[in-house]
């Protein structure tokens, strides 16, 4: 009986050993290994030890030691595995590695591979390498049919330029395109990007944004919800009302679309662009804006509008084009002066002040605002015009104004009677934002209606002289002092000489005057009869241009 049991056990063991040996010989015999072109079956190429236990797991072969599988062009390695030959799949454990050519390497603690669906499921300490890209996660599925791998329990992508982290993501090994979702963070030494959804190409280093995102670098904070960002150059194309902030939020650009080129230091804005300078309390609007960070220069055009609100009552200034120019010292480390230049059809409105001119320049070095070519200034019932007007500012208010060439001051008493002072030049001085007195020089002519104690006009005074000083009270001409030889006539109100009521260059340009902030966009010029006389002083008015020298050089070439 004992001998019979011993013989039965021996025969059973021999049968199991014979089955295992024959199976191993068929599966990984060197002479029998199929060509890589065979894509149907998963092949076992090597294992140090094979065990088959029909009682514990009748469908699996248990493999241990230097296990190697191959399915067409992919080789898979591990320390141990369960090989389900009938189902064309296996589970791999410990030191798992999958290789496809010399471009794709996949590592993990465990792996399940289905040869029929060509799907890998890798778990714990997962590492996917594709050329210069590395993806780290704890749970990764990889579809060999599409070349798509995806993780769903948090992952990190590393490439030459940046580190990208998210809760969910996928990577296409064919297109090199990655998609990341939920808590996305992208970092490099030059910037940090945060968003909820990000598409990223590891070959071109281009990030595509489709949800609210913030990009922070040493110069800017960018907020956008749609655009693309080159992580190698830090250049960006931003859409859908994106915002670029500088100087800790003191300066901001908002636009329908913005092109940002960090290496060149250029920012371009398109479509309802707004530049906010919160420090100086100035806003600039335009359909197109170009800004150069390197030399702190800018161009604003197409519905260009400058709004200055430091005094509480906003000043609206429109021109066809605004240009910001910054001048530095020789070392280029200190700003000497900034200029804001307005070209063509300048119109401005504030509740207490309106003006028009062909062009303008504001200089920070001496706080002057200069209006060129037939400028006109209005303040309530007063009007000043000349060939050129220079305003000398003090804390955004006018300290004094210099009217050069064919200067004319007009004050409307009613629609028929106007106080008028004309001369070669005029210096008007202000106190508490109101005109206090004015000095007029050179061929001075006056038409003046003195008032009695009841503010009724008592007559018309016409005077000519070399110079005078006019004093104002309650914004009206109070008295005139003539210097040098003069002559004049006083006409009673009932005996006015109509021919003497208006000076030769008198015009009341109420039709041209801006009526409100929106009206600054609508140019209404002088008629031919209303133009100033042409003389040599008109030639002194500069035509600001930055490219004239360069154009001459190009023409010579």
DSSP code string of 8-30: HHHHHHHHHHHHHHHHHHHHH-G
| Total number of domains constituting the chain | 2
* Residue 351: how many other CB atoms lie within 10 Å: 11
Residue 319's pLDDT is 95
User: Quick check: is 172 in a domain?
Assistant: no
Residue 4's pLDDT is 42
What are the structure tokens assigned to 465, written together?
A: 């002289």
Three-class SS state of 474: coil
User: Quick check: is 82 in a domain?
Assistant: yes
Residue 206's pLDDT is 92
Residue 384's pLDDT is 93
List the end-to-end C-alpha distance of the chain, in Å, as a whole number.
116
Q: Which domain holds residue 540?
A: 374-557
Three-class SS state of 87: helix
Burial class (CB in 10 A: 0-12, 13-18, 19+), 55: exposed
User: Quick check: is 79 in a domain?
Assistant: yes
Residue 36's pLDDT is 53
- Give strand pairing partners of 2: none
User: Quick check: is 512 in a domain?
Assistant: yes
What are the structure tokens assigned to 223, written together?
A: 């907020």
User: Quick check: is 15 in a domain?
Assistant: yes
**Is 357:375 a contact under the CB 8 Å cutoff?**
yes
CATH value at residue 495: 2.60.450.10
Cα distance between residue 171 and residue 149, in whole Å: 5
Residue 108's pLDDT is 96
Q: What is the pLDDT of residues 294-311, one digit of tens each?
A: 888 899 999 999 998 887
Determine what percent of the chain falls in helix, strand and coil, rounding each to the nearest 5.
10, 60, 30
Residue 294's pLDDT is 81
**Is 386:370 a contact under the CB 8 Å cutoff?**
no
Cα distance between residue 41 and residue 88, in whole Å: 6
User: Quick check: is 93 in a domain?
Assistant: yes
**Is 153:139 a contact under the CB 8 Å cutoff?**
yes
pLDDT in tens, the chain (557 residues): 444 444 444 334 334 333 333 344 334 433 355 555 556 899 999 999 999 876 667 788 999 999 999 999 999 999 999 999 989 999 999 999 999 988 899 999 999 999 999 999 999 999 999 888 899 999 999 999 999 999 998 999 998 878 999 999 999 988 989 999 999 999 988 889 999 999 999 888 899 999 999 999 888 899 999 999 998 888 899 999 999 998 888 889 999 999 988 888 888 999 999 999 888 888 999 999 999 888 888 999 999 999 988 877 899 999 999 999 999 888 888 888 889 999 999 999 999 889 999 999 998 888 899 999 889 999 888 999 999 999 998 876 788 999 999 999 999 999 999 999 999 999 999 888 788 899 999 889 999 998 888 888 999 999 999 999 999 887 788 888 888 888 888 999 888 888 899 998 899 999 999 999 999 999 998 887 777 877 644 444 444 444 444 444 444 44
* DSSP 8-class letter at 556: H
User: Quick check: is 167 in a domain?
Assistant: no
Cα distance between residue 273 and residue 395, in whole Å: 27
**Is 180:157 a contact under the CB 8 Å cutoff?**
yes
Cα distance between residue 117 and residue 68, in whole Å: 20
Instruction: Please state the φ and ψ torsions of residue 428, each to the nearest 5 degrees.
Output: -110, 130
Residue 33's pLDDT is 54
- The reported pTM is 0.77
User: Quick check: is 412 in a domain?
Assistant: yes
Three-class SS state of 532: coil
Residues 6+ apart with CB under 8 A from 184: 164, 165, 166, 193, 194, 195, 196, 197, 198
**Is 324:296 a contact under the CB 8 Å cutoff?**
yes
CA distances from 405 to 115, 200, 402, 418, 484 (A): 93, 63, 10, 21, 21
Q: Last residue of a domain, which of 123, 142, 161? A: 142
Q: Last residue of a domain, which of 82, 110, 142? A: 142
Q: Last residue of a domain, which of 142, 163, 197? A: 142
Q: What is the pLDDT of residues 537-547, one digit of tens each?
A: 444 444 444 44
Strand (E) or helix (H) holding 553: helix 548-556
Cα distance between residue 197 and residue 132, in whole Å: 23
Closest CA to 339 of 309, 296, 375, 303: 296
Calculate ∠ Cα 175-112-33, nearest 5°: 85
Alpha-carbon torsion, ordered 288, 294, 295, 298, to 10 deg: 10
């Amino acid at each position: 009986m004992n001998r019979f049991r011993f013989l039965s056990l021996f025969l059973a063991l021999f049968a199991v050993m014979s089955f295992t040996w024959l199976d191993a010989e068929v599966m990984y015999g060197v002479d029998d290994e199929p060509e890589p072109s065979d894509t149907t079956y998963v092949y076992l190429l090597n294992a140090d030890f094979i065990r088959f236990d029909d009682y514990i797991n009748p469908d699996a072969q248990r493999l241990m030691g230097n296990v190697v599988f191959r399915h067409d062009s992919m080789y898979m390695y591990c320390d141990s595995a369960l090989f389900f030959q009938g189902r064309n799949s296996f589970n791999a454990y410990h030191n798992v590695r999958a290789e496809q050519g010399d471009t794709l390497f996949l590592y993990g603690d465990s792996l399940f591979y289905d040869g029929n669906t060509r799907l890998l499921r890798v778990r714990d300490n997962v590492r996917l390498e594709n050329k210069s890209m590395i993806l780290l996660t704890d749970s990764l599925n990889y579809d060999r049919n599409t070349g798509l791998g995806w993780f769903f329990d948090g992952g990190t992508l590393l490439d030459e330029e940046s580190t990208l982290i998210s809760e969910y993501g996928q990577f296409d090994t064919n297109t090199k395109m990655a998609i990341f979702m939920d808590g996305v963070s992208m970092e490099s030494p030059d910037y940090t990007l945060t968003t909820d959804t990000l598409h990223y190409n590891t070959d071109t280093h281009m990030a595509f944004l489709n949800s609210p995102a913030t990009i922070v670098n040493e110069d800017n904070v960018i907020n956008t919800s749609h655009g693309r960002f080159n992580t190698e150059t830090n250049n960006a194309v931003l859409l859908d009302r994106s915002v670029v902030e500088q100087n800790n939020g003191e300066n901001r650009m908002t636009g329908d679309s913005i092109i940002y080129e960090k290496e060149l230091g250029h920012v371009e804005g398109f479509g309802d662009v707004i530049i906010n300078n919160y420090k100086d309390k100035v806003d600039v609007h335009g359909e197109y804006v170009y800004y150069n960070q390197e030399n702190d220069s800018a161009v604003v055009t197409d519905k260009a509008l400058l709004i200055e609100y430091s005094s509480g009552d906003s000043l609206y200034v429109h021109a066809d084009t605004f240009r910001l120019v910054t001048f530095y010292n020789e070392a280029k480390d200190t700003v000497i002066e900034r200029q804001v230049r307005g070209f063509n059809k300048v119109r401005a409105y504030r509740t207490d002040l309106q003006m028009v001119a062909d062009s303008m320049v504001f200089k920070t070095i001496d706080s002057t605002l200069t209006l060129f070519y037939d400028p006109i200034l209005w303040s309530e019932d007063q009007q000043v015009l000349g060939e050129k007007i220079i305003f000398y500012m003090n804390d955004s208010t006018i300290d004094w104004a210099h009217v050069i060439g064919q200067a004319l001051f007009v004050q409307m008493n009613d629609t028929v009677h106007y106080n008028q002072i004309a001369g070669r030049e005029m210096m008007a001085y202000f106190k508490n934002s109101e005109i206090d007195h004015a000095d007029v020089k050179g061929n001075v002519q006056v038409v003046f209606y003195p008032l009695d104690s009841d503010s009724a006009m008592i007559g018309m005074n016409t005077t000519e002289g070399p110079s005078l000083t006019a004093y104002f009270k309650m914004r009206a001409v109070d008295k005139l002092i003539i210097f040098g030889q003069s002559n004049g006539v006083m006409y009673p109100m009932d005996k006015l000489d109509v021919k003497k009521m208006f000076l030769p260059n008198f015009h009341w340009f109420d039709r041209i005057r801006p009526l409100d902030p929106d009206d600054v966009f609508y140019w209404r010029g002088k008629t031919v009869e209303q133009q100033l006389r042409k003389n040599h002083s008109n030639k002194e008015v500069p035509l600001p241009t930055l490219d004239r020298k360069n154009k001459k050089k190009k023409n010579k070439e």
